[in-house]
Structure 1
Amino acid sequence: MEQGIRMIRMRELGLGLLLASGLSMPAVAAEISPETTVKQIYSGKTPETKGIDIIGNAKLRAKYLSKDLAAAVKKDIDESAKSGEVGALDFDPVSDSQDPMIKDLKIEPASVQGDRAQVSVSFDRGDPKRDELVYDLVKENEQWRVSNISKKGNAQEAWSLRQMLSLK
């Protein structure tokens, strides 16, 4: 009888230790929000390096861009390298310029609908008015990825990365 009670207590102790160690719980990675994804894109330390190169750097393209957008960017880069001509992307869409300079970055809360989200950002580049960009994100493999970057404005100012790359 005493041996049976001792065995039950040993099992309880073992279960308690297991629970305390967290081994019985499956490890669940914290989901990164759409805003956090965009904040990571603008993680540079200085105004000149604030936006990371999610277009030219293949590893960053794979990490931050949706599969179809990453494929379209790669195709544009490859075709322009073959032809020697400038491709559809002749500027950095993250900084909306050819000479990146991002000061006073503001990232708005995301508008999320299911597996789609939209995040607006604005920053100062020294122009009279702030640059304002919109990031469309899609959830792929449980991660938020950029499916478009666009700039709103008049016909001369507005652009869409997907339209430039002939994606729908």
Structure 2
Amino acid sequence: MSFDRRAILSGLLIVLAALCTTSVAQSATATDRRDPAAIVTWIYRDAGKPSAPADDAKNIILWDSNRKRMKIFSQSLMAQWAKADKRASGDAVIDFDPVSNSQDPDIKSVAIAAKSSSSNRATIAATLTPTGRRVNATTDVVRCDFVRDGDEWKIDNMRGHAGSQSWAIRDMLAHALRN
């Protein structure tokens, strides 16, 4: 019986390449959910992409899909949000886009930086560079507070400033539940 070494080596290389590609892809997915900075980077990856002008809902980056929110928000934040939505009777509890800290997403670039980190909590700041000019530079920083949710990091709050007023998702939801 004669073996063609080239055919065998080619076959082995193809199998090894497929195994490596699958392993790397699975590793990247697992790492992304275990790294708060990678999650914030993922959020802002699509933030600057334009959508159809008539489709304002797609401009609101995190709110377009409950499935997307479940991937990145903590269970307790999702529960609080669901209660606030139910109480609001169809009115928007969060009536702006916290990702861009605006009514109309306008993000040219983003710088991501870890501000604090422990074994169970982390805060990542996203410093936004808008395509246009903003009145107040403090509106260009959005902070994401993370907690451990099982073996994954999840956003438990988002906060920033609108002019001289500070805002936090948790505070807005609590306000909606009180009223």
Name the SS of the counterpart of 2:123 in structure 1. strand
Say whether the 8 Å CA contact 1:95–1:102 is kept in structure 2.
yes
2: CA distance, partners of 1:42 / 1:116: 21
1: CA distance, partners of 2:47 / 2:61: 14
| Residue of structure 2 in register with 1:34 after alignment | 36
2: CA distance, partners of 1:43 / 1:100: 13
- CA positional deviation for 1:73: 2.0
1:100-134, Cα deviation, whole Å (9 max, x unpaired):
11122111135211110000111133214441111
| Residue of structure 2 in register with 1:7 after alignment | none
2: CA distance, partners of 1:159 / 1:30: 30
Superposition pairs for residues 74-89 of structure 1, below 5 Å?
Answer: 74-80=82-88, 83-84=89-90, 86-89=91-94
2:179 paired with 1:151: no
Q: TM-score, normalised by structure 2?
A: 0.65
Q: Aligned to 1:134, which of 143, 146, 152?
A: 143
Q: Structure 1 residues 70 and 135, CA, compared in 2 at 3 Å: closer, same or farther?
A: same
| Residue of structure 1 in register with 2:124 after alignment | 119
Say whether the 8 Å CA contact 1:121–1:132 is kept in structure 2.
yes
* 1:41 aligned partner, one-letter code: I
Q: Which runs of 5+ in 2 are unaligned?
A: 1-18, 20-25, 52-58
Say whether the 8 Å CA contact 2:47–2:105 is kept in structure 1.
no
- CA positional deviation for 1:46: 3.3
How many residue pairs match? The answer is 139
When the two chains are superposed, the root-mean-square deviation of aligned CA atoms in Å is 3.0
- CA positional deviation for 1:165: 0.7
Q: TM-score, normalised by structure 1?
A: 0.69
Say whether the 8 Å CA contact 1:55–1:73 is kept in structure 2.
no
* 1:145 aligned partner, one-letter code: K
Say whether the 8 Å CA contact 1:102–1:124 is kept in structure 2.
yes
- Structure with the higher helix share, 1 or 2: 2
Identity %: 29
Q: Which runs of 5+ in 1 are unaligned?
A: 1-20, 22-26
Q: Decide which structure has the larger Cα Rg and report it.
A: 1
